[in-house]
Amino acid sequence: MELTEYFQSYENYFWEWTTDEDVPDATGYNENNLISIPNVGAIAYRPYVIEVLKELKDQGFPSFGSLLLVLYAVQDGYLNMDGIFYYLKKQSKSFEVDKSKEIDLTINFLENLNRLGNSFKKGQNKIILLKTIFKNTHNILSAGNSELIIRVFEKRPYRISGSAEKKELIFSVVNNDIKALALLQNKFPTTESIIDAMKGVVEIPELEDEVVQEETTVETDKDYIQELIEEPKTFHIGSLIKRIWSGLKIPMRHLSPGEQPIGGISDMTNKGELPRMLLSEFANEDEVFMSRIANNEALYIQREIPPEENIFERVILIDTSLKNWGTPKVLAFASAIAVIKHPKAHSECKVFALGQTNIPISLNKVEEVIENLNQVSPVLEVSQALEKFFNEEHTEKDLEVFFITHHENLMNQKVQKIVHENRDRLKFLVTTTADGELNFYKHHKGTRKHIQKIVLPLQELWANPPERRQKRENNVSSGKKADVPLNYPILFPVPANKIATFLYEGEFFILSNKKQLLKTYLSDNYYNKNYYDYYKIHHGCEVLIEDISVKPKGQFALARNKQQEFILCQYQPDKKLISKLNLNTKEYSELNLTGKDIPKDHRLIYFNKYFYLFNENSEMVAVINIEGNISLEYVLNDKLIYKNQSKVESEIKKLFNSGIKIVSNFNNIGINTKKNLVISSNELNKTYDNSLTLYKNRYQLKIFAEQNKNRFTFSDGSEIITDSRGMLTFKSSNKNIPEFYIPSTDYGFLALATNTEFGGSEYYLPQNTLLKVKKMEDIYSECLERFIDQIWEYGT
């Protein structure tokens, strides 16, 4: 089974691939990063599902649908199990075969999983649970096939896009998902049988540990906020809190104004008890005295009452609806913790996550913050949960409520109504934005008053996450980074992540995610055209221009002006903006297209020394000049433009899947016990004849290189200089060994080259080169083997 088939989604089924634009993915492919149930809620983010699958690959994957059903059932917090059961029962009517009995068994099994104690559904215990129930399950994939799916995903995560395109639902898919769980219900009829099976697989000491953690408070010497900053998963929250403190104007504790006499005339009243009457009143005649008492004219003195601590209970409500996901949710949690943990705050504070319902949460430990950050709700707004909170769950008057939400949610009429009706208890409103802006409002005497605005410099505060900081601390010294050339005698691997690909005058160019202009090509010395068209013999790339100032949005086209300087044209339809950048001189010009009435189906292309906003069906098309400042004119459409563009698109398709996963983060460089060089946990090895590859290292390192930024130095003085674009430079302390270069990619055969000789994969051989081609076996022994021997002999 291939990756696309395993992750395939279907029409009218219980799950689908969706995209959360606010949550970046470590793979660099940020689309289709969330799996959700239509109109029910989210199941899990893609990185989490992949990590679960990695744990299961040794015993084989279950069907993807059955895994998703189980993952949803064992989630913490509010679950809409009825929504899941609706989709399952719906399937019994979709096919001729009656599956109602198996569906009932499936529902019973999911309910049993949901009733398991929280200790069995957290951390490593969740993995043990999944391994237990899915061991030798129905329709399980082989371990080899499972391993292959993971490896393909790691190299080409964008292939998920094929699975996200829904196909027509077929019976075999439903049957595999439902039958697997129905059989598990027969195997594990009760929750106790599941627990007994888990304990039979492995002893679970974590269960006792988790119970102890819940019942005791662990004292720590570390500052709580510093712990948040040092934990990568909470770094973004922790780094904001002290900045919020510095500008926060909300009173952390206040006194009841009550009866606080300040003396003088203002301390007197015309109502009171006889012992508090002023002595001067007794000097009046009896008739006058009785008259003043009867008419409430007699004066009394108030008893002094010391200021009292307020009796309000402070509650924070965090909106987890769709608009408050991503960065706004990070700001919301940071604001809540800033209020709870403020140095002047002494009273306890309750926190609730508002979504489809109200879920009480705790933010007193780093682990709790990590766990509760996963509280997400698919609802558009939380007016129902807010109304339920005030009118059903918390009807008491002595509440001081903070409501933290996205600023756009306050525009919703239902939310406005609930906020207005409960303004006496909803004392503070905090609104968030994706740009880092916090606005604080206070309800006072029935009106809302804007207290303050805090603008958080997110880019500055988040510029130094723990991972990067740790790498710097591990460096032996903070010397200057070793310089690397623009290009090497051999080609770079083509990066998998690209902004755009161009064909200009028969040559292929790439605008990479690292803001580089690259040039690549396909082999032209072929004998079988059909073979070439099918396999598209790719080659690496050379760097033409670096540090291009461009945003990866919209459409792009590339050309050269009369001076042979590269001109990059960018069209952003959402902003109605077209711009032109000279990549050589950095000259920039732009033109606002508001009022130009450019149809949405027009796309930016290059043809015959001009840029066009083109559609083959339009009578008139917009033309943009290459020379000088940017301008736009309209000309009659020409069929030649369409014919040329069809050829260009056909040629560019040949570069599809040309990208390779590049090893760009370098650490733990050394030599293992098998006397092979190890680069970032990958071993350089001659697995096949006349070839060189990077494979996962399985042996202990014996000799380590000392790191100083991108320079790794061995004890004999030999050096390896790393280049994050995908190249390694080897400089031996033995001057008889020439300087040589090896690409750093964990896919396919590699090459090894000096300044005069080349061996290995033709992919890295430049189109026009004077390098002498040799067998990999020969150049390996002359360069890399001697390089390792020099270090090994010195080290031993």
Whether 118 shows a pLDDT value over 80: the answer reads no
Give every CB contact of residue 669 below 8 A, 6+ residues apart in sequence.
677, 678, 679, 680, 704, 705, 707, 712, 720
* pLDDT top residue among 521 and 579: 579
Q: Residue 319: name the closest of 224, 386, 221, 264 by CA.
A: 386
Whether 204 shows a pLDDT value over 70: the answer reads no
Which helix (H) or strand (E) covers residue 729, if one does? strand 727-731
Predicted confidence band of residue 491 (pLDDT cuts 50, 70, 90): very high
pLDDT at 467: 56
| Cα distance between residue 671 and residue 653, in whole Å | 41
pLDDT above 90: percentage of residues in the chain: 27
Q: What is the mean pLDDT of residues 184-194?
A: 87
* pLDDT top residue among 535 and 384: 384
Q: Which range is least confidently modeled, 118-127, 238-247, 611-620, 751-760? A: 118-127
Q: What is the DSSP letter of 655?
A: G
Six token digits for residue 10: 């279907």
Predicted confidence band of residue 534 (pLDDT cuts 50, 70, 90): very low
pLDDT at 219: 34
Summarised one tens digit per residue, pLDDT across range 119-164 is: 777 777 888 888 888 888 888 888 888 888 998 888 888 888 888 9
What is the SS3 assignment for 200? helix
Whether 510 shows a pLDDT value over 60: the answer reads yes
Q: Which range is least confidently modeled, 24-28, 223-227, 369-373, 735-739? A: 24-28
pLDDT at 724: 92
Six token digits for residue 219: 């004292």
pLDDT at 230: 84
* pLDDT top residue among 88 and 742: 742
Highest mean pLDDT among 36-40, 347-351, 451-455, 770-774: 770-774
Q: Which range is least confidently modeled, 100-104, 342-346, 449-453, 504-508? A: 342-346
Whether 209 shows a pLDDT value over 60: the answer reads no
Q: What is the mean pLDDT of residues 632-640?
A: 91
Summarised one tens digit per residue, pLDDT across range 449-462 is: 888 888 888 877 88
pLDDT at 260: 46
Q: What is the mean pLDDT of residues 528-545?
A: 69
Q: Residue-wise over 617-653: b if at least 16 C-beta within 10 A, else e?
A: eeeebbbbbbeeebeeeeeebeeebbeebeebeeeee
Q: Is 292 exposed, middle or buried (0-12, 13-18, 19+ CB in 10 A)?
A: middle
Q: Residue 436: name the closest of 352, 326, 355, 320 by CA.
A: 326
DSSP letters, 9-75, are -BTTSS-EEE--TTS--TTS--SS-EEEETTTEEEEEHHHHHHHHHHHTTT----HHHHHHHHHHT-
What is the SS3 assignment for 152? helix
Summarised one tens digit per residue, pLDDT across range 21-73 is: 766 777 778 888 888 888 777 888 888 889 889 888 888 999 998 999 888 88
Which alpha helices (H) appear in 598-701, and where do they start and end?
639-652
Highest mean pLDDT among 143-157, 406-420, 485-499: 485-499
Whether 733 shows a pLDDT value over 60: the answer reads yes
pLDDT at 96: 59
Q: What is the mean pLDDT of residues 627-646?
A: 91
Q: Residue-wise over 373-406: b if at least 16 C-beta within 10 A, else e?
A: bebbbbbebbbebbbbbbeeebeeeebbbbbbbb
Whether 174 shows a pLDDT value over 90: the answer reads no
CB 765 within 8 A of CB 771: yes
CB 556 within 8 A of CB 511: yes
CB 160 within 8 A of CB 29: yes
* pLDDT top residue among 79 and 686: 686
Whether 614 shows a pLDDT value over 60: the answer reads yes
* pLDDT top residue among 274 and 718: 718
What CATH number belongs to 224-254+311-461?
3.40.50
Q: Residue 726: name the closest of 418, 507, 419, 496 by CA.
A: 496
Q: Where are the beta strands (DSSP E) in 320-460?
A: 349-354, 358-361, 399-406, 428-432, 437-444, 447-455
pLDDT at 723: 95
Q: What is the mean pLDDT of residues 626-649?
A: 91
Whether 520 shows a pLDDT value over 90: the answer reads yes
Six token digits for residue 215: 């019942």
Q: Where are the beta strands (DSSP E) in 408-546?
A: 428-432, 437-444, 447-455, 498-504, 507-512, 517-522, 538-545
| Cα distance between residue 684 and residue 696, in whole Å | 9
What is the layout of strands, in order, in the sheet containing 447-455?
358-361, 349-354, 313-319, 399-406, 428-432, 437-444, 447-455
Q: Residue-wise over 452-477: b if at least 16 C-beta within 10 A, else e?
A: eebebebeebbeeebeeeeeeeeeee
Whether 5 shows a pLDDT value over 80: the answer reads yes
Residue-averaged pLDDT of the chain: 83
pLDDT at 47: 87
Q: What is the DSSP letter of 656?
A: T
* pLDDT top residue among 387 and 273: 387
- CA–CA distance from 570 to each of 339, 364, 613 (Å)? 45, 48, 11
Count of CB atoms situated within 10 Å of the CB of 479: 10
- Domain borders along the chain are 3-215, 224-254+311-461, 261-304, 498-655, 670-795
Q: What is the mean pLDDT of residues 388-410?
A: 83
Predicted confidence band of residue 265 (pLDDT cuts 50, 70, 90): low
pLDDT at 286: 87
pLDDT above 70: percentage of residues in the chain: 87
Q: What is the mean pLDDT of residues 563-592?
A: 93
Which alpha helices (H) appear in 666-767, and where do they start and end?
none
Whether 207 shows a pLDDT value over 50: the answer reads no
Predicted confidence band of residue 259 (pLDDT cuts 50, 70, 90): very low
| Cα distance between residue 590 and residue 168, in whole Å | 45
Q: What is the mean pLDDT of residues 589-600?
A: 88
Whether 205 shows a pLDDT value over 60: the answer reads no
| Cα distance between residue 592 and residue 48, in whole Å | 42
